[in-house]
């Protein structure tokens, strides 16, 4: 396996990258530059409330970052690692988490329909009241994860390690006649 060399991004540089990304989004790609956060190390940054949809964030490390109420539509977090991440209220529709480490991450109240979690470690992660409808969660470590109140309608949740998972009051497919 190839070792990835990651670059540390300072808060100032990250602010500049995100400002260019915002301009890129607003101008439909005519101005600014789309953000690429692949192979980066980012620490103690608050992305809350930003629109960073469709960025590439593969092979990155996010230490103690907040993504609260952030638009992360279609973001690829494959092979990334999160330590102390807060994704509560975030939009993670069609986001990709392949071979990602997101232990103890908070996904409470997130909108994550059609997201893909494949071979991902989500030990102790919380998904309280999250919308994970039509998502795929497969071959993941869900030990002690909490899905209480989550919408799991039409989700493919298969072949996971699920010791101690809490599924209280999840919303599933309606039964016939309902």
Which strands, in side-by-side order, build the sheet including 116-118? 96-98, 116-118, 136-138, 156-158
Radius of gyration of the chain (CA): 16
Buried b / exposed e over 3-35, threshold 16 CB at 10 Å, is eeebeebeeeebeebbeebeebbeeeeeeeeeb
Contact call for residues 109 and 89 (beta carbons, < 8 A): yes
Between the alpha carbon of residue 43 and those of residues 23, 89, 168, the distances in Å are 24, 20, 34
Report the CATH architecture of 38-171.
Answer: 3 Solenoid (2.160)
Average pLDDT over residues 110-137: 98
pLDDT score of 174: 61
42-95 pLDDT per residue, tens: 999 999 999 999 899 999 999 999 999 999 999 999 999 999 999 999 999 999
What pLDDT is stored for residue 108 in this prediction?
98
pLDDT, position 2: 58
* Strand 156-158 with 136-138, pairing: parallel
Give me the pLDDT at residue 178, please.
40
- 170, two tokens: 């999840």
Kindly report the CA angle at 128 between 92 and 155, in degrees rounded to 5? Answer: 60
Greater model confidence, 3 or 59 = 59
- What is the mean predicted confidence (pLDDT) over 170-175? 77
pLDDT tens string 72-86? 999 999 999 999 999
Q: What angle do CA 78, 83, 89 make, to 5 degrees?
A: 75
- What the block records as the tokens of 155 is 């989700």
Nearest Cα neighbor of 173 from 159, 157, 152 is: 152
Check whether 161 has a pLDDT greater than 80: yes
Domain positions in the chain are 38-171
Instruction: Give the predicted TM-score (pTM) of the model.
Output: 0.92
Confidence of residue 13 (pLDDT cuts 50, 70, 90): very high
Q: For 36-44, what is the mean pLDDT? A: 97
Contact 134, 153 (CB under 8 A): yes
Whether 52 and 73 have beta carbons less than 8 Å apart is answered as: no
pLDDT at 169 over 90: yes
Query: Average pLDDT for residues 118-130, to the nearest whole number?
Result: 98
């Amino acid at each position: 396996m190839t070792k990835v060399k990651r670059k540390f991004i300072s808060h100032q540089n990250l602010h500049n990258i995100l400002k260019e990304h915002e301009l890129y989004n607003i101008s439909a790609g005519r101005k600014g530059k789309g953000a690429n956060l692949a192979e980066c190390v980012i620490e103690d940054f608050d992305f809350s409330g930003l629109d960073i949809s469709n960025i590439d964030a593969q092979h990155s490390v996010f230490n103690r970052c907040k993504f609260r109420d952030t638009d992360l539509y279609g973001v690829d977090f494959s092979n990334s690692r999160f330590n102390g991440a807060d994704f509560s209220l975030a939009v993670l529709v069609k986001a990709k988490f392949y071979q990602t480490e997101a232990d103890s991450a908070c996904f409470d109240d997130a909108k994550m329909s059609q997201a893909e979690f494949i071979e991902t470690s989500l030990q102790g992660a919380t998904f309280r009241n999250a919308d994970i409808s039509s998502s795929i969660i497969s071959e993941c470590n869900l030990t002690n994860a909490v899905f209480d109140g989550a919408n799991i309608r039409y989700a493919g949740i298969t072949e996971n390690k699920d010791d101690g998972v809490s599924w209280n009051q999840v919303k599933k497919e309606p039964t016939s006649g309902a």
